Structure 1
Amino acid sequence: MFSDPVFVILAIVMLGVVAILGMGIMNFGKGTPDAAKRSNKLMQLRIVAQAVAVLLILVFIMARGGN
């Protein structure tokens, strides 16, 4: 499984989603207008990263033959 490049890329993207989510949540706690704007941008980026992760999951499943 770790030798499959799609799986490795998928794992990296999923870790990136978690990191972006964590940074966005930390910014919510600051309470400043700049932090709110940055947090909003991070959450938008998280949605894009999640979409990429879902597409990679589908590619991974199709590459494995759906088993």
Structure 2
Amino acid sequence: MTDDPLFYIAVAATVVVAAILIFGVVTFARGGEFNRRNGNRIMRWRIGAQFVAVLLIILFAWSRMQGGN
């Protein structure tokens, strides 16, 4: 499993989602002008990154079911 490059790409996408989520939560907790201007944009980026991560995870699982290494 760990010799498959798709595994590492899926893990990297998941880490990106987590980083965006943490950044968004921190800016929301701080409040202020930056959060008012960018809070929704940050969460939209998270949703997009999460969509890509889920697709990569599904692709990885599908490739493993098909007999891939």
Q: Which residue number in structure 2 is paired with residue 59 of structure 1?
A: 59
Please give the residue correspondences for 1:6-45 in structure 2 after superposition, counting only pairs within 5 Å. Answer: 6-45=6-45
* Structure 1 segments (4+ residues) deviating >3 Å: none
Code of the aligned partner of 2:32: T
Aligned length: 67
Task: Give the TM-score normalised by structure 1.
Answer: 0.87
The structure carrying a bigger helix percent of its residues is 2
- 1:50 paired with 2:50, answer yes
Task: Give the TM-score normalised by structure 2.
Answer: 0.85
- Aligned alpha-carbon RMSD (Å): 1.6
* Structure of greater relative contact order (alpha carbons < 8 Å, 6+ residues apart): 2
Structure 2: unaligned runs, 5 residues or longer: none
Q: By how many angstroms is 1:66 displaced?
A: 6.1
Provide the C-alpha distance between the structure 2 equivalents of 1:38 and 1:14, rounded to a whole number of angstroms: 22
Identity, % of aligned pairs? 39
Structure 1: unaligned runs, 5 residues or longer: none
Provide the C-alpha distance between the structure 2 equivalents of 1:2 and 1:36, rounded to a whole number of angstroms: 41
